[in-house]
Amino acid sequence: MANPDPGQETAAPAAHVARPEALALEEIDAHLHRGRADLAMERIAGLDRALRGSDHVRLFAMQAVVIGFACPLERSAATPVPRDPPALSSLDLVWFHVDLPRAPSGLHQAIDYGAVLALSFEAGAIKAPQARRILITDETTQLPADLRVDEVMRFPLDRGQLMYERMRLQSLYLKRRAPGRCSVLMDSDMVVNADPSRVFGEAFDIGLTWRGKHADAPFNGGLILVAEGAAGLDFFGKVRACYDALAADATVTGACETNPRAWWGDQWALAATVGYRAYGERTTDVLSVDGIRVRLFPCETHNFTPEPQTRYDVADLRRKFFIHFKGNRKQMLAFYLGQLRSGHI
């Protein structure tokens, strides 16, 4: 079974599943969301005998393998500490974009990514005009002539392992980043929807955005917040080491049909670095990972994904820091930018 699109909801247990098996599926899901792959695997083994061939059981088995992969790091709860937000002029908005003939997920429709990128940069110019706009890309990607960019950073990369390469290139950017600057690392389908400097009104090193639907991929890799200082680069080093180990693990690769370096693996590596159980059983939204302060923001407010054919309250939309037009929602981006230009949002 192919890995599900993290932008789509995992299917609920089928209606024909008997009540005891349905309850077992719910119990497994709860264990996985707590990061307790050990408890989930016990139930999966028993349930597989009753529901042999079930897509739900196979999906949970794959998730349990990924969640059970451990990165040995020290983790503990930390306390949020307010601070004055940095000046918008000390902020880097950093996009990653590479032209590809097709999306590596195999699930997304053909999209004019150049047009999407130009709209995303325009939103950054509207909502954060003093911030520096940077693009990370490869050596051959063609860019729109009207792209409102301050700097283009080009690096050689392997397009066959795009998610791994995105993290590697983001690390190179952080290594070259000027001292005292904060960074918003994001994909080409992200809209800056509010003053991003306000997100840094707390003392943290890394900000990740979480969602509740995907036990194996709780953090969306399309937006990562990096405060000033060297700790952000240190965190990326730990995630990449975890990513290397995960992608080389025969148990993990044997459970997945997709190459983790090409798609989804970055989100697994982020979660394994933070710690699936540390995240799933947390009592605070700040965790210390080997002394690095990781702030966990809800996607609902900091990395919001709108749904097609859905009407949203304008006042509520204005409170979202970033709007993520991921997957096939990119077709909605042009209309949304029109609303930003007009001042309606």
Residue 267: closest CA among 237, 302, 239, 295: 239
pLDDT band, residue 55 (cuts 50/70/90): confident
Residue 104 has pLDDT above 60, yes or no: no
Q: pLDDT value at position 7?
A: 39
Residue 2 has pLDDT above 90, yes or no: no
Q: pLDDT value at position 291?
A: 98
Question: Which architecture characterizes domain 77-342 according to CATH?
Answer: Alpha-Beta Complex (3.90)
Give the pair of three-digit tokens for residue 248.
């080389």
When pLDDT is averaged across residues 308-327 and rounded to a whole number, the result is: 95
Q: pLDDT value at position 211?
A: 96
- How far is CA 214 from each of CA 10, 211, 285, rounded to the nearest angstrom? 7, 7, 18
When pLDDT is averaged across residues 71-96 and rounded to a whole number, the result is: 97
Helix axes 265-274, 55-67, angle to 10 degrees: 50
Rounded to whole angstroms, how far apart are CA atoms 57 and 142? Answer: 43
pTM: 0.93
What is the per-residue pLDDT across 126-185, written as a single tens digit (0 to 9) for each? 999 999 999 999 999 999 999 999 999 999 999 999 999 999 999 999 999 999 999 999
Between residues 218 and 47, which one has the greater pLDDT?
218
Residue 110 has pLDDT above 70, yes or no: no
Give the pair of three-digit tokens for residue 318.
């204005």
Q: pLDDT value at position 109?
A: 64
Q: pLDDT value at position 8?
A: 42
When pLDDT is averaged across residues 117-128 and rounded to a whole number, the result is: 97
pLDDT band, residue 51 (cuts 50/70/90): confident
Across the strands, what pairs with 75? Answer: 289
Residue 136: closest CA among 123, 121, 146: 121
Rounded to whole angstroms, how far apart are CA atoms 104 and 159? Answer: 9
Work out the mean pLDDT of the chain and round it to a whole number: 92
What is the per-residue pLDDT across 173-199, written as a single tens digit (0 to 9) for each? 999 999 999 999 999 999 999 999 999
Q: pLDDT value at position 15?
A: 47
Q: pLDDT value at position 4?
A: 42
Across the strands, what pairs with 154? Answer: 137
Q: What percent of the chain has pLDDT over 70?
A: 92
Q: pLDDT value at position 262?
A: 94
Q: pLDDT value at position 102?
A: 62
When pLDDT is averaged across residues 207-219 and rounded to a whole number, the result is: 96
Residue 46 has pLDDT above 90, yes or no: no
Task: Decide if 187 contacts 220 (C-beta within 8 A).
Answer: no
Q: pLDDT value at position 3?
A: 41
Q: pLDDT value at position 21?
A: 86
Degrees to nearest 5, angle at CA 230 with 229 and 236: 125
